[in-house]
Amino acid sequence: MIQKPKGTADIFLQDAEIWQYVEETARILMHDYQFSEIRTPMFESYELFSRGVGDTSDIVSKEMYDFFDKGDRHIALKPEGTAPVVRAYVENKLFGPEYPKPLKVYYLSPMFRYERPQGGRMRQFHQLGVEVFGSTNPATDVETIALAWDVLKEIGLTDLKLVINSLGKTADRIRYREALIAYLEPFHDELSNDSQTRLHKNPLRVLDSKDKRDKEIVANAPSILEFLSEESKKHFEDVQQLLNALEIPFSINSNMVRGLDYYQDTIFEIMTSSAVFGAETTVCGGGRYDGLVEEIGGPDVPGFGFGMGLERLVLLMKDQHVEIPDLTELDVYVVGLGEETNVETLKLVQNARQSGFSADRDFLDRKAKAQFKTAAKNGAKVVMTIGEEELSKQQVQFKVMATGKEVTLPLAEVYADFEKVYNLQASDMTAFNEFFGKEN
């Protein structure tokens, strides 16, 4: 038996409904915030990520699905969304005068990372991400963080924590780097192998280590916040003030660096302590990347964005028993009795669908009782029944389930204007629902 590759998932039935709900909610919010969608390829040149994300990052050094194609091009499946969107921004000259400024885009896309699979960690996973190009205003940082916060709130999640930090500009980080190396060097032999390698290549990465002893060592490391220029300090203070103005609670963790090399100034993570993940886990991370567009060959345009892992959101929604609205409501169920009604039954469901209603029928020649049971289970609002007798008289039984009211209608009338027939017959149902205060 052939099985799905390790670290991938099939999503179907109820799970697919949760996914659709998350995606639809996100799209509505993206529109409210005036972001437009961008779709980029599933694979890109390897170099885009080695340059954009950074050679020393875990993503590039360990987790990429890369290969040489038949034309000997070095290709990688996209492990993250920002570098591809920046590439598209540069390649399509989206910085041109005809485009909005700032340019606000979002994506919903699978990502690929060769990682050890566990709860909320997959080899193919999905991200909702946004990127904003062309604004250094701290209000852009905060609007974008607020958007992430809103998405999570809107899908019903609670008990989340926002953590922010500032990485300053390149010059600040160069000075901080030296101080950090000086602090870490005496601990060299106690550091994990990864951190020993990174100590001189990219010491900020050591702050990000998940190793227990590394974490103890970096707890007392100098803080990057002491090394910020006046400009970066002011930017970070403004961000905090704006978050306070929106009453979005946050804390500062000066050891937070994020896993990607391109960040500067504001970075943030939204975390959960939910038991489903075992340890404190990040569901959304992002920040400012003012040098990246230039690095990828474009003009000097600032950027801000985030990536949100949808698998983790879905796990949390299930754990917190978030109720999702029923997206699969059924307007009409057609009960066909007897083989001879097969054609008419199909015509009736198609007619209902073409009039804009959701409709279904039985295909297995089941008894009346079984068909009515299915109709009720799927919450059909109307059940139309056609047996051999009705067929010979060119009629159909039309039953409004909420009231139990049943009438016999000529087929010709049903085909002439189904919407009119439905609304006329079901008007009692509207009154019924209003009476009981249900939404129609």
Could you tell me which residues are annotated as the binding site for L-histidine? 80-82, 113, 127, 131, 258, 262-263
- Binding flag, residue 285, ligand ATP (CB under 6 A): yes
Q: Could you give the angle at the alpha carbon of 425 between the alpha carbons of 424 and 431, nearest 5°?
A: 85
- Binding flag, residue 122, ligand ATP (CB under 6 A): yes
Q: Which is nearer to ligand ATP, 152 or 421 (CB)?
A: 152
Q: Which is nearer to ligand ATP, 147 or 284 (CB)?
A: 284
Site string for ligand ATP, 218-257 (x = CB under 6 A): ----------------------------------------
Q: Which is nearer to ligand ATP, 59 or 352 (CB)?
A: 59
Contacting residues for 276 by C-beta, under 8 A, at least 6 apart:
119, 120, 315, 316, 318, 319
- The least distance separating ligand ATP from the CB of residue 208, rounded to whole angstroms, comes to 8
Burial 269-296 (b: 16+ CB within 10 A, else e): bbbbebeebeeebbbbbbbbbbbbbebb
How many other CB atoms are there within 10 angstroms of residue 98's CB atom? 6
- The least distance separating ligand ATP from the CB of residue 229, rounded to whole angstroms, comes to 26
Cβ atoms of residues 19 and 11 within 8 Å: yes
Pairing of strands 332-336, 382-386: parallel
Contacting residues for 422 by C-beta, under 8 A, at least 6 apart:
331, 332, 352, 355, 357, 382
Sole binder of ligand ATP in the list 44, 64, 80, 205 (CB under 6 A): 80
* Residue indicated by tokens 């997959």: 122
Whole-angstrom CA distances from 411 to 332, 345, 368, 395 are: 15, 11, 20, 5
Q: Which of residues 347-406 bind ligand ATP (CB under 6 A)?
A: none
- The least distance separating ligand ATP from the CB of residue 40, rounded to whole angstroms, comes to 16
Question: Which residue has its beta carbon closest to ligand ATP?
Answer: 309
Q: Which residues are annotated as a binding site?
A: 80-82, 113, 127, 131, 258, 262-263
- Binding flag, residue 283, ligand ATP (CB under 6 A): yes
Q: Which is nearer to ligand ATP, 156 or 259 (CB)?
A: 259
- Please state the length of the chain: 440
Token code pair at residue 67: 């290969």
Cβ atoms of residues 133 and 96 within 8 Å: no
- Binding flag, residue 131, ligand ATP (CB under 6 A): no
Q: Which of residues 294-353 bind ligand ATP (CB under 6 A)?
A: 307, 309, 311-312
- The least distance separating ligand ATP from the CB of residue 113, rounded to whole angstroms, comes to 5
Q: Which is nearer to ligand ATP, 115 or 295 (CB)?
A: 115
Sole binder of ligand ATP in the list 65, 197, 233, 259 (CB under 6 A): 259
Sole binder of ligand ATP in the list 113, 205, 235, 381 (CB under 6 A): 113
Whole-angstrom CA distances from 21 to 28, 203, 322 are: 11, 41, 11
How many other CB atoms are there within 10 angstroms of residue 42's CB atom? 12
- Binding flag, residue 127, ligand ATP (CB under 6 A): yes
Q: Which is nearer to ligand ATP, 121 or 353 (CB)?
A: 121
Pairing of strands 395-400, 406-410: antiparallel
Q: Which is nearer to ligand ATP, 120 or 298 (CB)?
A: 120
- The least distance separating ligand ATP from the CB of residue 274, rounded to whole angstroms, comes to 13
Q: Judged by CB under 6 A, which stretch of 70-78, 112-120, 190-198, 245-253 contacts ligand ATP?
A: 112-120
**Helical H runs in 33-78?**
46-52, 58
Helix, strand, coil shares, percent, the chain, to 5? 45, 20, 35
Q: Is 76 strand, coil or helix?
A: strand
Q: Judged by CB under 6 A, which stretch of 15-23, 160-168, 283-291, 422-430 contacts ligand ATP?
A: 283-291
How many Cα atoms within 13 Å fall on the side-chain side of residue 59? Answer: 24
- Residues linked to residue 162 through DSSP beta bridges, in sequence order: 270
Sole binder of ligand ATP in the list 121, 175, 353, 405 (CB under 6 A): 121
Site string for ligand ATP, 20-39 (x = CB under 6 A): --------------------
- The least distance separating ligand ATP from the CB of residue 126, rounded to whole angstroms, comes to 8
Residue ranges that bind ligand ATP, judged by CB under 6 A? 80, 113, 115, 120-122, 125, 127, 259, 282-285, 307, 309, 311-312
